[in-house]
Amino acid sequence: MLAVEDLVVRFATARGAVHAVDGVSLALAAGETLGLVGESGCGKSTLGRAILRLIEPSQGHIRLDGTDVTHHSRSALRATRRKVQMVFQDPFASLDPRWTVGELIAEPLHIHGIGTRAARKAKVADILAKVGLPPEAARRYPHQFSGGQRQRIGIARALVLDPEVVVLDEPVSALDVSVQAQILNLLVDLQETLGVAFLFISHDLSVVEYVSDRVAVMYLGRMVEIADRETLFAAPAHPYTRALLDAVPQIGGDGAPRRPPLAGDLPSPYAPPPGCRFHTRCPTAQARCGSDIPVLRTLTGGHQVACHFPLATVPETA
């Protein structure tokens, strides 16, 4: 339904050009959740914003239901915006605090010219109920709500247009752990009832494991691995994914990571390493890794990996 092909997002900065997203491809099927993980600065938020054209991609394609929307004009983009919505870490950072919650949730309907005033009011009441808020919430202001309730409002605003895809960028990262669980369960329930697809961006692997059908891993602007959740967590093929998983403290253990965390710092995005970008930190790097760029290729079961020497021993199909 949503397909991203060879997407590049380049930023010109005082220190030179940065390829924040460098040739990324992924596909999202109707009603599924694709988790997108990676360290801070790996380009996952930039990718999410580029899919909504909040940032203009420099190269590549974004297809929605088969239509190439990469270069749609502002007016054509409105139709896309109905189908693809976004939930931010802090949904109110950019919204007018003088608006009531009802006005904020109804705004997307208003922008798209949907329904009469009465119909929009009914739709707001309906979506508030779906996200677990009482009808009177519509008359109150964002600051009168807790962080978790505010995120419910942010989700309501994203869902009010009945989108096909919602990009969620660290939607629970600012919340207490107990509240995180409530919001994650709400998202899982909403997906079941509404059939919407989620691109769920998070640095937190346990959160991603909880919500995702499939998981995609980025490193320094490139996609390094995509697999179904079970495969990715049980048998990752990319050494970077392995290192990310090893860095997660084990619940019930002594709280220590299984292996020492990754050696070395994340290289500068201004001067990414040649060849495999992970070769400066990879425990199993070999000579060719420093010069040959590994492309994303498919192992069995749709498992994709960009590594010359993948860890999994499954045979290649393509």
CB of 288 to ligand SF4, least distance (A): 8
User: Which amino acid appears at position 85 of this protein?
Assistant: Q
Task: Give the contacts of 83 (CB within 8 A, at least 6 positions apart).
Answer: 64, 65, 163, 164, 165
297 is a contact residue toward ligand SF4 (CB under 6 A) = no
309 is a contact residue toward ligand SF4 (CB under 6 A) = yes
How many other CB atoms sit within 10 Å of the CB of residue 6?
12
Pinpoint the alpha helices (H) of the chain: 44-51, 74-83, 101-111, 117-130, 147-159, 177-194, 205-211, 229-234, 239-246
How far is 189 from 195, CA to CA, in rounded Å? 10
From the list ligand SF4, Mg ion, none, pick the one residue 307 interacts with, judged by a Cβ distance below 5 to 8 Å according to partner type: ligand SF4
Binding residues among 12-71 for Mg ion as defined by CB under 5 A: 45
CB of 183 to Mg ion, least distance (A): 17
The region of 109-117, 249-257, 264-272, 307-315 touching ligand SF4 under the rule CB under 6 A is 307-315
| Cβ nearer to ligand SF4, comparing 35 with 239 | 239
From the list Mg ion, ligand SF4, none, pick the one residue 45 interacts with, judged by a Cβ distance below 5 to 8 Å according to partner type: Mg ion
Q: Are residues 299 and 305 in contact, defined by beta-carbon separation less than 8 angstroms?
A: yes
226 is a contact residue toward ligand SF4 (CB under 6 A) = no
278 is a contact residue toward ligand SF4 (CB under 6 A) = yes
From the list ligand SF4, Mg ion, none, pick the one residue 294 interacts with, judged by a Cβ distance below 5 to 8 Å according to partner type: ligand SF4
220 is a contact residue toward ligand SF4 (CB under 6 A) = no
- CA 208 from centre of chain: 10
Token digits for 2? 């949503």
